[in-house]
Structure 1
Amino acid sequence: MANTLLKTFSITTALSSAILLSAISSNAVAMSPFQASYQFAYNGKNLGTATRTLSKSGNNWTYVFAAKAAAIASATETSRFSFANGQIISNNFSRNSKILVHNDTMTINFNPSTKTINTKKKDQARSFAWKAGALDELNAELQVREDLKGSGLKSSYLIADAKGLDVRQFVKKGSESVKTAFGTYNTIKVVLSHDNSSKSSTFWLAPQLDYLPVKMSHDDGKASYNLTLTAYKN
Protein backbone atom coordinates (compact mmCIF):
# COMPACT_ATOMS: atom_id res chain seq x y z
CA MET A 1 0.00 0.00 0.00
CA ALA A 2 2.77 2.45 0.96
CA ASN A 3 4.74 1.83 -2.24
CA THR A 4 1.61 2.18 -4.36
CA LEU A 5 0.70 5.48 -2.70
CA LEU A 6 4.24 6.79 -3.15
CA LYS A 7 4.11 5.96 -6.85
CA THR A 8 0.67 7.56 -7.10
CA PHE A 9 1.85 10.80 -5.50
CA SER A 10 4.92 10.92 -7.76
CA ILE A 11 2.84 10.41 -10.89
CA THR A 12 0.27 12.94 -9.69
CA THR A 13 2.82 15.70 -9.21
CA ALA A 14 4.59 14.85 -12.43
CA LEU A 15 1.42 14.88 -14.49
CA SER A 16 0.21 18.00 -12.81
CA SER A 17 3.16 19.87 -14.27
CA ALA A 18 2.42 18.54 -17.84
CA ILE A 19 -1.21 19.71 -18.15
CA LEU A 20 -1.97 21.47 -21.41
CA LEU A 21 -3.94 24.62 -22.09
CA SER A 22 -5.54 23.71 -25.35
CA ALA A 23 -6.94 26.77 -27.10
CA ILE A 24 -5.44 30.08 -28.17
CA SER A 25 -7.02 33.02 -26.34
CA SER A 26 -7.79 36.03 -28.48
CA ASN A 27 -7.59 38.19 -25.33
CA ALA A 28 -4.24 36.98 -24.05
CA VAL A 29 -3.23 38.12 -20.58
CA ALA A 30 0.17 38.00 -18.94
CA MET A 31 1.10 35.10 -16.69
CA SER A 32 -0.08 35.99 -13.20
CA PRO A 33 0.08 34.49 -9.68
CA PHE A 34 -2.76 32.20 -8.53
CA GLN A 35 -3.66 29.48 -6.07
CA ALA A 36 -5.90 26.45 -6.70
CA SER A 37 -7.02 23.71 -4.30
CA TYR A 38 -8.07 20.15 -5.17
CA GLN A 39 -9.60 17.02 -3.68
CA PHE A 40 -7.34 13.98 -4.12
CA ALA A 41 -9.00 10.58 -4.63
CA TYR A 42 -7.39 7.15 -4.99
CA ASN A 43 -9.39 4.24 -6.46
CA GLY A 44 -12.56 6.26 -5.98
CA LYS A 45 -11.91 7.14 -2.32
CA ASN A 46 -11.18 10.67 -1.17
CA LEU A 47 -7.87 10.49 0.67
CA GLY A 48 -6.61 14.06 0.89
CA THR A 49 -6.09 17.46 -0.69
CA ALA A 50 -3.67 19.23 -3.02
CA THR A 51 -2.75 22.79 -3.98
CA ARG A 52 -0.84 24.46 -6.80
CA THR A 53 0.48 27.97 -6.20
CA LEU A 54 2.24 30.37 -8.58
CA SER A 55 4.03 33.39 -7.05
CA LYS A 56 6.63 35.93 -8.18
CA SER A 57 9.22 38.40 -6.90
CA GLY A 58 10.49 40.66 -9.67
CA ASN A 59 11.17 38.26 -12.52
CA ASN A 60 11.80 35.30 -10.20
CA TRP A 61 8.85 32.92 -10.32
CA THR A 62 8.04 30.00 -8.02
CA TYR A 63 5.49 27.31 -8.80
CA VAL A 64 4.57 24.80 -6.08
CA PHE A 65 2.41 21.67 -6.14
CA ALA A 66 1.69 20.12 -2.73
CA ALA A 67 -0.44 17.07 -1.90
CA LYS A 68 -1.33 15.34 1.36
CA ALA A 69 -3.27 12.17 2.13
CA ALA A 70 -4.25 12.29 5.81
CA ALA A 71 -1.27 11.26 7.97
CA ILE A 72 -0.16 8.59 5.48
CA ALA A 73 1.54 10.46 2.66
CA SER A 74 2.63 13.88 1.43
CA ALA A 75 4.46 15.26 -1.59
CA THR A 76 5.74 18.68 -2.64
CA GLU A 77 7.23 19.84 -5.94
CA THR A 78 8.79 23.27 -6.44
CA SER A 79 9.88 24.89 -9.70
CA ARG A 80 11.88 28.14 -9.85
CA PHE A 81 12.37 29.99 -13.12
CA SER A 82 12.49 33.35 -14.88
CA PHE A 83 10.40 34.52 -17.80
CA ALA A 84 11.33 36.61 -20.86
CA ASN A 85 9.80 37.12 -24.31
CA GLY A 86 7.21 34.42 -23.75
CA GLN A 87 9.80 31.80 -22.79
CA ILE A 88 10.34 30.18 -19.39
CA ILE A 89 14.01 29.85 -18.42
CA SER A 90 14.25 26.96 -15.96
CA ASN A 91 16.43 27.43 -12.88
CA ASN A 92 15.85 24.54 -10.50
CA PHE A 93 13.29 21.95 -9.52
CA SER A 94 12.82 19.78 -6.43
CA ARG A 95 10.49 17.01 -5.30
CA ASN A 96 10.06 15.69 -1.78
CA SER A 97 7.63 12.90 -0.94
CA LYS A 98 6.96 10.87 2.18
CA ILE A 99 4.94 7.71 2.82
CA LEU A 100 4.80 6.83 6.49
CA VAL A 101 8.53 6.81 7.41
CA HIS A 102 9.82 6.42 3.83
CA ASN A 103 11.22 9.55 2.14
CA ASP A 104 12.05 10.19 -1.51
CA THR A 105 13.78 13.26 -2.97
CA MET A 106 14.86 14.55 -6.36
CA THR A 107 16.52 17.79 -7.54
CA ILE A 108 17.22 19.20 -11.00
CA ASN A 109 19.53 22.15 -11.65
CA PHE A 110 19.54 23.79 -15.09
CA ASN A 111 22.85 25.37 -16.16
CA PRO A 112 22.51 26.99 -19.60
CA SER A 113 25.90 28.74 -19.22
CA THR A 114 27.68 25.38 -19.07
CA LYS A 115 25.06 23.62 -21.21
CA THR A 116 24.44 20.95 -18.56
CA ILE A 117 21.57 19.71 -16.43
CA ASN A 118 22.52 18.15 -13.09
CA THR A 119 20.11 15.88 -11.24
CA LYS A 120 20.08 13.89 -8.04
CA LYS A 121 17.49 11.29 -7.07
CA LYS A 122 18.07 9.85 -3.62
CA ASP A 123 21.84 9.23 -3.75
CA GLN A 124 22.13 8.86 -7.53
CA ALA A 125 23.64 11.93 -9.25
CA ARG A 126 23.60 12.40 -13.03
CA SER A 127 24.59 15.04 -15.57
CA PHE A 128 23.40 15.39 -19.17
CA ALA A 129 23.28 17.97 -21.95
CA TRP A 130 21.11 21.06 -21.56
CA LYS A 131 19.02 22.06 -24.57
CA ALA A 132 17.27 25.34 -25.31
CA GLY A 133 13.69 25.28 -24.07
CA ALA A 134 14.35 22.58 -21.45
CA LEU A 135 11.59 22.59 -18.85
CA ASP A 136 10.76 20.76 -15.65
CA GLU A 137 7.61 18.83 -14.79
CA LEU A 138 5.85 21.85 -13.29
CA ASN A 139 6.79 24.86 -15.38
CA ALA A 140 6.05 22.94 -18.60
CA GLU A 141 2.37 23.57 -17.88
CA LEU A 142 2.98 27.30 -17.71
CA GLN A 143 5.10 27.37 -20.87
CA VAL A 144 2.37 25.61 -22.82
CA ARG A 145 -0.12 28.16 -21.53
CA GLU A 146 1.99 31.06 -22.75
CA ASP A 147 2.56 29.41 -26.12
CA LEU A 148 -1.17 29.01 -26.64
CA LYS A 149 -1.70 32.66 -25.82
CA GLY A 150 0.91 33.55 -28.43
CA SER A 151 1.83 31.68 -31.60
CA GLY A 152 0.27 28.37 -30.61
CA LEU A 153 1.10 24.98 -29.14
CA LYS A 154 4.42 23.36 -30.04
CA SER A 155 4.43 19.84 -31.46
CA SER A 156 6.45 18.64 -28.45
CA TYR A 157 8.13 19.85 -25.27
CA LEU A 158 11.44 18.87 -23.66
CA ILE A 159 10.89 18.00 -20.00
CA ALA A 160 13.72 17.00 -17.67
CA ASP A 161 13.51 14.11 -15.22
CA ALA A 162 16.20 12.43 -13.13
CA LYS A 163 17.73 10.59 -16.11
CA GLY A 164 17.43 12.97 -19.05
CA LEU A 165 15.17 15.04 -21.29
CA ASP A 166 11.88 13.47 -22.39
CA VAL A 167 9.73 14.54 -25.33
CA ARG A 168 6.10 14.96 -24.24
CA GLN A 169 3.06 15.14 -26.52
CA PHE A 170 -0.60 15.78 -25.84
CA VAL A 171 -3.81 15.29 -27.82
CA LYS A 172 -6.97 17.43 -27.73
CA LYS A 173 -10.13 15.30 -27.37
CA GLY A 174 -12.97 17.79 -27.68
CA SER A 175 -14.95 19.49 -24.93
CA GLU A 176 -16.83 18.31 -21.86
CA SER A 177 -18.83 19.77 -18.96
CA VAL A 178 -17.22 19.09 -15.57
CA LYS A 179 -18.90 19.58 -12.19
CA THR A 180 -16.65 20.46 -9.25
CA ALA A 181 -17.13 21.72 -5.71
CA PHE A 182 -16.17 25.17 -7.00
CA GLY A 183 -18.68 25.14 -9.87
CA THR A 184 -19.53 23.55 -13.20
CA TYR A 185 -17.33 24.40 -16.18
CA ASN A 186 -17.24 23.80 -19.90
CA THR A 187 -13.77 22.35 -20.43
CA ILE A 188 -11.31 21.31 -23.09
CA LYS A 189 -10.36 17.65 -22.71
CA VAL A 190 -6.71 16.76 -23.27
CA VAL A 191 -5.14 13.29 -23.18
CA LEU A 192 -1.46 12.56 -22.51
CA SER A 193 -0.15 9.85 -24.84
CA HIS A 194 1.70 6.95 -23.16
CA ASP A 195 4.00 4.34 -24.69
CA ASN A 196 2.18 1.81 -22.49
CA SER A 197 -1.36 1.46 -23.85
CA SER A 198 -2.67 0.28 -20.46
CA LYS A 199 -2.03 3.76 -19.03
CA SER A 200 -4.23 6.79 -19.58
CA SER A 201 -3.97 10.37 -18.33
CA THR A 202 -6.69 12.92 -18.96
CA PHE A 203 -7.02 16.61 -18.11
CA TRP A 204 -10.01 18.95 -18.20
CA LEU A 205 -9.15 22.64 -18.70
CA ALA A 206 -11.58 25.50 -18.03
CA PRO A 207 -11.33 28.54 -20.35
CA GLN A 208 -13.53 30.41 -17.86
CA LEU A 209 -10.68 30.15 -15.32
CA ASP A 210 -7.92 31.01 -17.82
CA TYR A 211 -7.58 27.32 -18.77
CA LEU A 212 -6.93 26.19 -15.22
CA PRO A 213 -7.11 22.38 -14.90
CA VAL A 214 -10.31 21.73 -12.93
CA LYS A 215 -9.97 17.95 -13.07
CA MET A 216 -7.21 15.40 -13.72
CA SER A 217 -7.26 11.61 -13.80
CA HIS A 218 -4.78 8.78 -14.28
CA ASP A 219 -5.29 5.04 -14.67
CA ASP A 220 -2.36 2.62 -14.95
CA GLY A 221 -4.47 -0.51 -15.27
CA LYS A 222 -4.01 -1.47 -11.61
CA ALA A 223 -4.99 1.71 -9.79
CA SER A 224 -6.55 5.07 -10.56
CA TYR A 225 -6.61 8.50 -9.00
CA ASN A 226 -7.98 11.94 -9.73
CA LEU A 227 -7.79 15.56 -8.63
CA THR A 228 -10.90 17.79 -8.67
CA LEU A 229 -10.97 21.55 -8.09
CA THR A 230 -12.37 22.82 -4.79
CA ALA A 231 -11.18 26.47 -4.74
CA TYR A 232 -9.37 29.06 -6.89
CA LYS A 233 -8.13 32.63 -6.57
CA ASN A 234 -5.80 34.88 -8.55
Structure 2
Amino acid sequence: MRLQKLIKSTLFIGSALLSIHTFALTPFQATYQFSYNGHNISTATRSLQSLENNRWVYKFSAKAGILASANETSQFTFNNQNVTSNSFTRATKYLGMSDALTINFNQSEKKVSTNKDGTSRSFKLENNPLDELNAEIQIREDLKNNHLKPVYYITDAKGIDARKFINLGEETIKTQYGTFKTMKFKLEHNKPERNTLFWLAPELDYLPVKVAHNDGSNSYGISLINYKWQ
Protein backbone atom coordinates (compact mmCIF):
# COMPACT_ATOMS: atom_id res chain seq x y z
CA MET A 1 0.00 0.00 0.00
CA ARG A 2 2.97 2.33 0.52
CA LEU A 3 3.72 2.33 -3.24
CA GLN A 4 0.07 3.12 -3.98
CA LYS A 5 0.17 6.14 -1.67
CA LEU A 6 3.41 7.40 -3.19
CA ILE A 7 2.11 7.13 -6.76
CA LYS A 8 -1.06 8.98 -5.73
CA SER A 9 1.06 11.71 -4.15
CA THR A 10 3.00 12.49 -7.32
CA LEU A 11 0.07 14.41 -8.43
CA PHE A 12 0.06 17.13 -5.85
CA ILE A 13 3.65 17.39 -5.85
CA GLY A 14 4.82 18.19 -8.74
CA SER A 15 2.86 18.63 -6.95
CA ALA A 16 3.78 22.35 -6.78
CA LEU A 17 3.09 23.92 -9.54
CA LEU A 18 1.60 27.08 -16.88
CA SER A 19 1.76 29.59 -19.17
CA ILE A 20 3.99 31.28 -21.71
CA HIS A 21 2.59 34.68 -20.87
CA THR A 22 2.68 36.19 -17.44
CA PHE A 23 -1.06 36.72 -17.04
CA ALA A 24 -2.55 33.79 -18.96
CA LEU A 25 -2.75 30.05 -18.53
CA THR A 26 -1.56 27.98 -21.47
CA PRO A 27 -2.49 24.35 -22.18
CA PHE A 28 0.48 22.01 -21.83
CA GLN A 29 1.64 18.43 -21.34
CA ALA A 30 4.58 17.32 -19.19
CA THR A 31 6.07 13.84 -18.86
CA TYR A 32 8.21 12.71 -15.91
CA GLN A 33 10.36 9.75 -14.97
CA PHE A 34 8.96 8.25 -11.78
CA SER A 35 11.34 6.49 -9.37
CA TYR A 36 10.59 4.53 -6.21
CA ASN A 37 13.29 3.94 -3.60
CA GLY A 38 15.92 4.89 -6.16
CA HIS A 39 14.62 2.69 -8.99
CA ASN A 40 13.00 4.03 -12.17
CA ILE A 41 9.72 2.16 -12.50
CA SER A 42 7.36 4.21 -14.66
CA THR A 43 6.48 7.54 -16.23
CA ALA A 44 3.88 10.07 -15.11
CA THR A 45 2.03 12.63 -17.23
CA ARG A 46 0.33 15.93 -16.42
CA SER A 47 -1.81 17.81 -18.95
CA LEU A 48 -3.77 21.07 -18.80
CA GLN A 49 -6.68 21.73 -21.18
CA SER A 50 -8.81 24.82 -21.72
CA LEU A 51 -12.61 24.57 -21.83
CA GLU A 52 -15.25 27.28 -22.35
CA ASN A 53 -16.10 30.13 -19.98
CA ASN A 54 -12.74 30.25 -18.18
CA ARG A 55 -13.03 26.59 -17.22
CA TRP A 56 -10.01 24.29 -17.20
CA VAL A 57 -9.27 20.62 -16.67
CA TYR A 58 -5.98 19.35 -15.26
CA LYS A 59 -5.18 15.63 -15.51
CA PHE A 60 -2.55 13.37 -14.02
CA SER A 61 -1.82 9.73 -14.85
CA ALA A 62 0.86 7.25 -13.85
CA LYS A 63 1.37 3.52 -14.25
CA ALA A 64 3.96 1.29 -12.61
CA GLY A 65 3.94 -1.77 -14.88
CA ILE A 66 1.33 -4.24 -13.70
CA LEU A 67 1.71 -3.19 -10.06
CA ALA A 68 -0.19 0.05 -9.80
CA SER A 69 -1.84 2.93 -11.62
CA ALA A 70 -3.26 6.31 -10.69
CA ASN A 71 -5.49 8.78 -12.51
CA GLU A 72 -6.62 12.16 -11.21
CA THR A 73 -8.68 14.98 -12.72
CA SER A 74 -9.32 18.50 -11.45
CA GLN A 75 -11.86 20.86 -12.98
CA PHE A 76 -11.72 24.52 -12.02
CA THR A 77 -12.32 28.07 -13.21
CA PHE A 78 -9.62 30.71 -13.47
CA ASN A 79 -10.25 34.45 -13.16
CA ASN A 80 -7.92 37.32 -12.19
CA GLN A 81 -5.06 34.90 -11.46
CA ASN A 82 -7.22 32.95 -8.99
CA VAL A 83 -8.22 29.29 -9.15
CA THR A 84 -11.73 28.34 -8.02
CA SER A 85 -12.27 24.61 -7.50
CA ASN A 86 -15.23 22.80 -9.08
CA SER A 87 -14.51 19.07 -8.79
CA PHE A 88 -11.75 16.52 -8.25
CA THR A 89 -11.61 12.76 -8.86
CA ARG A 90 -8.99 10.11 -8.16
CA ALA A 91 -8.91 6.43 -9.11
CA THR A 92 -6.02 4.15 -8.18
CA LYS A 93 -5.29 0.44 -8.42
CA TYR A 94 -2.65 -1.58 -6.65
CA LEU A 95 -2.23 -5.34 -7.13
CA GLY A 96 -5.94 -5.82 -7.77
CA MET A 97 -7.08 -3.44 -5.03
CA SER A 98 -8.72 -0.13 -5.88
CA ASP A 99 -9.20 3.23 -4.23
CA ALA A 100 -11.51 6.06 -5.31
CA LEU A 101 -12.08 9.63 -4.18
CA THR A 102 -14.43 12.35 -5.44
CA ILE A 103 -14.65 15.94 -4.20
CA ASN A 104 -17.35 18.41 -5.24
CA PHE A 105 -17.07 22.11 -4.43
CA ASN A 106 -20.50 23.75 -4.28
CA GLN A 107 -19.52 27.40 -4.52
CA SER A 108 -23.09 28.74 -4.31
CA GLU A 109 -23.93 26.82 -1.12
CA LYS A 110 -20.38 27.14 0.31
CA LYS A 111 -20.18 23.41 0.86
CA VAL A 112 -17.62 20.70 0.09
CA SER A 113 -18.79 17.11 -0.37
CA THR A 114 -16.42 14.15 -0.53
CA ASN A 115 -16.76 10.43 -1.07
CA LYS A 116 -13.87 8.07 -0.45
CA ASP A 117 -14.48 4.39 -1.15
CA GLY A 118 -18.18 4.77 -0.31
CA THR A 119 -17.76 6.95 2.78
CA SER A 120 -19.34 10.39 2.34
CA ARG A 121 -18.53 13.57 4.22
CA SER A 122 -19.39 17.26 3.91
CA PHE A 123 -17.97 20.42 5.45
CA LYS A 124 -18.01 24.17 5.07
CA LEU A 125 -16.32 25.70 2.03
CA GLU A 126 -14.10 28.53 3.23
CA ASN A 127 -10.75 30.16 2.38
CA ASN A 128 -11.24 29.27 -1.32
CA PRO A 129 -9.94 25.69 -0.88
CA LEU A 130 -7.94 24.00 -3.62
CA ASP A 131 -7.46 20.35 -4.50
CA GLU A 132 -4.17 18.49 -4.81
CA LEU A 133 -3.92 19.18 -8.55
CA ASN A 134 -5.12 22.73 -9.03
CA ALA A 135 -3.02 23.86 -6.07
CA GLU A 136 -0.06 23.50 -8.43
CA ILE A 137 -1.67 25.93 -10.84
CA GLN A 138 -2.37 28.52 -8.14
CA ILE A 139 1.14 28.33 -6.70
CA ARG A 140 2.74 28.76 -10.11
CA GLU A 141 0.59 31.77 -10.89
CA ASP A 142 1.38 33.32 -7.51
CA LEU A 143 5.10 32.85 -8.08
CA LYS A 144 4.87 34.49 -11.51
CA ASN A 145 3.18 37.46 -9.87
CA ASN A 146 5.57 37.57 -6.87
CA HIS A 147 2.71 36.89 -4.49
CA LEU A 148 3.29 33.52 -2.83
CA LYS A 149 0.75 33.12 -0.02
CA PRO A 150 1.76 32.25 3.58
CA VAL A 151 -0.45 29.13 3.43
CA TYR A 152 -2.56 27.27 0.88
CA TYR A 153 -5.76 25.49 1.85
CA ILE A 154 -5.84 21.98 0.35
CA THR A 155 -8.88 19.69 0.42
CA ASP A 156 -8.78 15.94 1.04
CA ALA A 157 -11.42 13.35 1.91
CA LYS A 158 -11.72 14.44 5.54
CA GLY A 159 -11.37 18.20 5.45
CA ILE A 160 -9.31 21.25 4.49
CA ASP A 161 -5.73 21.65 5.70
CA ALA A 162 -3.40 24.68 5.62
CA ARG A 163 -0.05 23.88 3.95
CA LYS A 164 3.11 26.04 3.94
CA PHE A 165 5.62 26.29 1.08
CA ILE A 166 9.05 27.42 2.18
CA ASN A 167 11.58 28.96 -0.22
CA LEU A 168 15.00 27.31 0.19
CA GLY A 169 16.84 29.36 -2.43
CA GLU A 170 18.19 28.68 -5.93
CA GLU A 171 19.73 25.50 -7.35
CA THR A 172 20.74 24.27 -10.82
CA ILE A 173 19.08 20.96 -11.76
CA LYS A 174 19.90 18.60 -14.64
CA THR A 175 17.06 16.56 -16.21
CA GLN A 176 16.59 14.55 -19.40
CA TYR A 177 14.80 17.58 -20.80
CA GLY A 178 17.68 19.95 -20.01
CA THR A 179 19.50 21.84 -17.28
CA PHE A 180 17.59 24.53 -15.41
CA LYS A 181 18.18 27.22 -12.83
CA THR A 182 15.44 26.54 -10.33
CA MET A 183 13.84 27.78 -7.13
CA LYS A 184 13.87 25.11 -4.44
CA PHE A 185 10.86 24.79 -2.14
CA LYS A 186 9.84 22.61 0.78
CA LEU A 187 6.28 21.50 1.41
CA GLU A 188 5.50 21.22 5.10
CA HIS A 189 3.61 18.15 6.33
CA ASN A 190 2.01 17.48 9.68
CA LYS A 191 4.18 14.37 10.20
CA PRO A 192 7.89 14.87 11.02
CA GLU A 193 8.95 11.72 9.12
CA ARG A 194 7.55 13.12 5.87
CA ASN A 195 9.21 15.79 3.73
CA THR A 196 8.82 16.94 0.16
CA LEU A 197 11.24 19.04 -1.87
CA PHE A 198 10.57 20.41 -5.31
CA TRP A 199 12.52 22.43 -7.86
CA LEU A 200 10.62 24.94 -10.03
CA ALA A 201 12.02 26.36 -13.27
CA PRO A 202 11.15 30.05 -13.88
CA GLU A 203 11.97 29.69 -17.60
CA LEU A 204 9.16 27.10 -17.83
CA ASP A 205 6.76 29.29 -15.85
CA TYR A 206 7.71 27.56 -12.61
CA LEU A 207 6.99 24.06 -13.83
CA PRO A 208 8.30 21.49 -11.30
CA VAL A 209 11.24 19.85 -13.08
CA LYS A 210 12.16 17.65 -10.12
CA VAL A 211 10.46 16.45 -6.95
CA ALA A 212 11.80 14.34 -4.07
CA HIS A 213 9.51 12.90 -1.39
CA ASN A 214 10.50 10.92 1.69
CA ASP A 215 8.09 9.08 3.96
CA GLY A 216 9.96 7.14 6.62
CA SER A 217 11.98 4.38 4.95
CA ASN A 218 10.36 4.92 1.55
CA SER A 219 10.99 7.59 -1.06
CA TYR A 220 9.98 8.54 -4.56
CA GLY A 221 11.00 11.14 -7.09
CA ILE A 222 9.96 12.57 -10.43
CA SER A 223 12.22 14.21 -13.01
CA LEU A 224 11.16 16.00 -16.20
CA ILE A 225 11.49 14.07 -19.47
CA ASN A 226 9.47 16.24 -21.84
CA TYR A 227 7.37 19.42 -21.82
CA LYS A 228 5.31 21.00 -24.60
CA TRP A 229 2.76 23.76 -24.90
CA GLN A 230 -0.40 22.82 -26.76
TM-score, with length taken from structure 1 = 0.92
Alignment of 1:10 with 2:8, yes or no, is yes
Superposition map of 1:1-234 within 5 A: 3-17=1-15, 19-20=16-17, 28-58=22-52, 59-150=54-145, 152-234=147-229
C-alpha distance in 2 between matches for 1:4 and 1:86:
36
After superposition, what is the alpha-carbon deviation per residue over 1:28-49, rounded to whole angstroms, capped at 9, x for unaligned? Answer: 2411111000000001101100
Query: What RMSD in Å do the two structures reach over aligned CA positions?
Result: 1.5
Q: CA deviation at 1:133?
A: 1.5
**Partners of 1:20 and 1:170 within 8 A in 2:** no
Identical-residue share of aligned pairs (%): 50
Q: Which amino acid aligns with 1:46?
A: N
Q: Which amino acid aligns with 1:120?
A: N
In structure 2, relative to structure 1, the CA distance for the partners of 1:155 and 1:20 (3 Å cut) is farther
After superposition, what is the alpha-carbon deviation per residue over 1:65-116, rounded to whole angstroms, capped at 9, x for unaligned? Answer: 1111112111011000111122111100000101121110000000011111
Q: Which amino acid aligns with 2:40?
A: N
Q: Secondary structure at the match of 1:155?
A: coil
After superposition, what is the alpha-carbon deviation per residue over 1:144-169, rounded to whole angstroms, capped at 9, x for unaligned? Answer: 22223336111111111000111010
**Partners of 1:20 and 1:190 within 8 A in 2:** no
Residue 24 of structure 1 is matched in structure 2 by: none
After superposition, what is the alpha-carbon deviation per residue over 1:127-154, rounded to whole angstroms, capped at 9, x for unaligned? Answer: 0001142111110111122223336111
Q: Which amino acid aligns with 1:5?
A: L
**Partners of 1:50 and 1:67 within 8 A in 2:** yes
Q: Secondary structure at the match of 2:5?
A: helix
After superposition, what is the alpha-carbon deviation per residue over 1:177-214, rounded to whole angstroms, capped at 9, x for unaligned? Answer: 11111111111100111232222100011112111100
Q: Which amino acid aligns with 1:86?
A: Q
Q: Which amino acid aligns with 1:12?
A: T
Q: Secondary structure at the match of 2:183?
A: strand
Q: Secondary structure at the match of 2:25?
A: coil
Structure 2 unpaired stretches of 5+: none
Number of equivalences: 226
Structure 1 unpaired stretches of 5+: 22-26
Q: CA deviation at 1:12?
A: 2.1
Q: Which amino acid aligns with 2:51?
A: S
Q: Which amino acid aligns with 1:47?
A: I
Q: Which amino acid aligns with 2:10?
A: T
